[in-house]
Structure 1
Amino acid sequence: MSVRERGGLLRSRDFRLLWTGETTSVLGSSIAVVALPLVAVVTLQASTFAVGLLTAAAWLPWLLIGLPAGAWVDRWPKQPIMLACNTFSMVVFLSVPVAAWFGLLTMTQLLVVALAGGVAKVFFNVAYRAYLPSLVDKEQLQEANEKLQGSESAAQIGGPGLAGLLAQGFGAVTGVLADAVSFGISVLCLRSIRYREPKRPAGTRSRLRDEIREGLAFVVHDRYLRVFALFGAVSNVALMGYQSIEVVFLARDLGVGPGAVGLVLALVGAGGVFGAALSGKLAARIGTARAFVLCEGFGALMMLLGPLANGGWGLAFFVAAGFSLSAGVVGSNVLNATFKQRYVPAAMFGRVTASMSVLSFGAIALGGLLGGILGETAGVRQTLGLMAGLEVVAVFALLFTPIGRCRDFPADVTAAGRPPRRPARPSRRPPATRSGSSPV
């Protein structure tokens, strides 16, 4: 049973807890996004390639376990998965400051922590996106996503600034400690949610590979989801190739200190709040699909200003590019998430989301690795320009797809003119036993 109360979703106790926990966790993660590279660069004197590899390691699990994770999440209650993932992440990230305090921290440990945290993020992300449509009514999804994305963007404003201040005053590893604490707060909030998901109807369970195949087929044969997955992959290569070397560009090429790095990235993140607040109004005026394309196009074009930045007042180019890119990406993410939560059948949401995310999020690992390699060989500023150009090309290609040719996204698969799916064929083997009900 979903919640629905007069006065908006923030009047709902359960949604407030989800919103508070997720916002706190994102604040910690946005601190760690800056703190981990700073630990690598400042404390361990890591190379540009190693910093890019650190980003790639955090997203590599999408390629390794994304598909089975989607099928498993569809089988299990979502809240226990989210609790287990955040508890695991808290312990993993806590190991970094502990090792640093004893003088045992190495680049290998940072890579293992990034990889382990990425594994937890895969499960949490899929479960979280599937959990929200059961917690709120369908017509409240736009409001829910706007509030969640808006507050997450606000947290991302403060996160880099806090990371810089913590690094300046107490050392870079303190930011990683703050991330671990944020996961603990999120666990407390999730445990306090009273809503319990309805049990999945009993029946013969299909084999895992059949369920994975069903999710993949749903995406491959759907003209909208297929475009979202392909566009997301190319766009994420460009965005992460750009973002993975931002700290290196600011700290080494422009000579910006740790505190100022946090401040610059906080100003950049402020664009996300603007984008989340504007997305619903823009969609109501020009249509959901057109608003999505406009958000993406605006961010991509402004991204070209980033490589033009230099020291002093020249940082304004970097801030303007980042602010606009953040606004465009967050605004389009609100519209994209709302569309999928309304469009994809609830029983398949985990598998469909994971199938798309394996391609689009897996590309983030490639983008981080590519950014590190090109930054080391071709130069950091040149790599930023190349990635900005790739993003512009990806958005331009979007205009020639079904998304670029329609005003609004379809409300569901029937409105899209798609025939109902056929259920996966039950396995002839005895049903597998449940292994238990227990994630950026």
Structure 2
Amino acid sequence: MPVKHRFGLLREHDFRQLFVADTISQVGTQVTHIALPLVAILALDASPLEVGVLAACETAAFLLVGLPAGAWVDRMRRRSVLIFGDVARAVLLGSVPVAWWAGTLTMPQLYTVGLLLGVFTVFFDVAYQSYLPHLVGRDNLVEGNAKLEAVRGVSHVAGPTAGGLLVQWLTAPVAIVADAVSFLLSAVFVGLIRKREPKPEPAADRHLGREIGEGLRFVLGNRLLRSIAMCTGSSNLCTSIAMTMFLVLLADELDVPAGTIGVLMSTGSIGGLVGAFAAMRIARWLGQGPTIWISIGTTAPFGLLMATVQPGWKLWLAAFGFGAMMFGAVVYNIAQVSFRQGLTPERLLGRMNATMRFLVWGTMPVGGLLGGVLGARVGVRETVMIGMVGGCLAFLPVFFSPLRTMRELPRGDEREAAPVG
């Protein structure tokens, strides 16, 4: 049954540990989102193409290991995967300031760090989304996802400001130390979770390829999941094209100080925080299906304001556009992730999440690389505009699906869920 008391799931010890761990980790991650590309731009004088390659490396793992990660996670205790992923990412990030202090930091090292960070992030994210139903129960999924998206919203507000100011005060490589420490703290809090999963029983005829195929068939054989994958994947592709060059536009072409960049990104991210708090009310008002397409379809056009950014008041107009876009993205994510988790049987959660990550995040390295190529060929500002125009069309797959009018979405049970053809 859904949790009813005042603070909801936050009164539950195990969810509270996950909530605190995620808060720490998300803020630190936002520092790296600012600091790692600024290390390349400011410390190593990277070109737009090199920044694009770095962005591609950070998300390439979703293409390289996205599908098998789900099958592997379904074979393991997810709490252990979360702890190992946090510790591994802390070590990788710690190597950047060490190399910088030693005078040996290079772009190939940043590419390697970005790629391996992505690998461990794939495993962490698949395990994280698959662990939540076990931790809170399926009746509490919307509340759990809403609270964790609120964490993401807060991190998007606080993290970029902290990252930008740390880069400005301490230099970009030193700022990454904060993220390395955050991952270690996150691992400590995940370790405090008391509820233990039973170790998954190995199937007698266990076969990695067969297990991956089962996850693919479940997602691609379900019309609703298929339309969500197309919408999210195309949105991520276009956003990656735009955002890869947006930082270059601010830091390189407009010479905006790192601290101001951080404040701009944080100001815009207030929209995401508002979206996290408003998502449950919007879903009750519009219905679950309409919430999915309306949230992204009506807010993506505000991203066009980011391509008009200039020093002065237009800097904050771009922040407003970013905030409106983030509001819609967070409401969309809460609605569609909760639906996916509620539809999928326990034994397939890891593979469903990994398949969706492969399909929707696998477009991000392509977008990052395309952003770098387009930035070098047609111009940085023009590339931001191209990406944002494409993002305005991303809602069409869910609009032209049954989700458009479905106020109540189907749910699976703990054992099985039938595909929707």
TM-score, length-scaled by structure 2 = 0.95
CA distance in 2, matches of 1:5, 1:404: 30
Aligned length: 419
Alpha-carbon spacing, 1:345–1:223, altered in 2? closer, same or farther (3 Å): same
CA distance in 1, matches of 2:75, 2:166: 41
CA distance in 1, matches of 2:163, 2:259: 8
Matched, 1:361 2:361: yes
Aligned partner of 1:302: which letter? F
CA distance in 2, matches of 1:129, 1:307: 33
SS at match of 1:76: coil
CA distance in 2, matches of 1:263, 1:44: 23
Aligned to 1:307: 307
Native 8 Å contact 1:17 1:193 kept in 2: yes
CA distance in 2, matches of 1:178, 1:3: 36
Alpha-carbon spacing, 1:280–1:22, altered in 2? closer, same or farther (3 Å): same
Aligned partner of 2:341: which letter? Q
Aligned to 1:425: none
Aligned to 2:248: 248
Cα drift, residue 405 of structure 1 = 4.0
Aligned to 2:289: 289
Aligned to 2:347: 347
Cα drift, residue 85 of structure 1 = 0.9
Q: Deviations over 1:255-290 (max 9, x none)?
A: 211111111011111111011111110000110111
CA distance in 2, matches of 1:417, 1:358: 21
CA distance in 2, matches of 1:413, 1:362: 29
Cα drift, residue 400 of structure 1 = 1.3
SS at match of 1:305: helix
SS at match of 1:75: coil
Aligned to 1:316: 316
CA distance in 2, matches of 1:382, 1:43: 25
Aligned to 1:69: 69
Native 8 Å contact 1:5 1:11 kept in 2: no
Q: CA RMSD in A?
A: 2.0
Residue segments in structure 2 that go unaligned for 5+ positions in a row = none
Alpha-carbon spacing, 1:419–1:401, altered in 2? closer, same or farther (3 Å): closer
Matched, 1:152 2:162: no
Aligned to 1:170: 170
CA distance in 2, matches of 1:419, 1:289: 17
Q: Deviations over 1:109-159 (max 9, x none)?
A: 111000010000011010000000000022211111111110121012111
Aligned to 2:56: 56
Cα drift, residue 233 of structure 1 = 1.5
Aligned to 1:271: 271
Native 8 Å contact 1:283 1:291 kept in 2: yes
Equivalent residue runs for 1:105-254 within 5 Å: 105-201=105-201, 203-254=203-254
Cα drift, residue 298 of structure 1 = 2.4
Cα drift, residue 398 of structure 1 = 3.1
Cα drift, residue 419 of structure 1 = 6.1
Using the aligned pairs only, state the percent identity. 37
Residue segments in structure 1 that go unaligned for 5+ positions in a row = 422-440
Matched, 1:100 2:100: yes
CA distance in 1, matches of 2:71, 2:50: 33
Cα drift, residue 292 of structure 1 = 1.5
Which stretch has the larger CA shift, 309-318 or 140-149? 309-318
CA distance in 2, matches of 1:387, 1:404: 25
Q: Deviations over 1:274-328 (max 9, x none)?
A: 1111111000011011112111012211112211221111112211110011111
CA distance in 2, matches of 1:3, 1:226: 28
Cα drift, residue 252 of structure 1 = 2.3
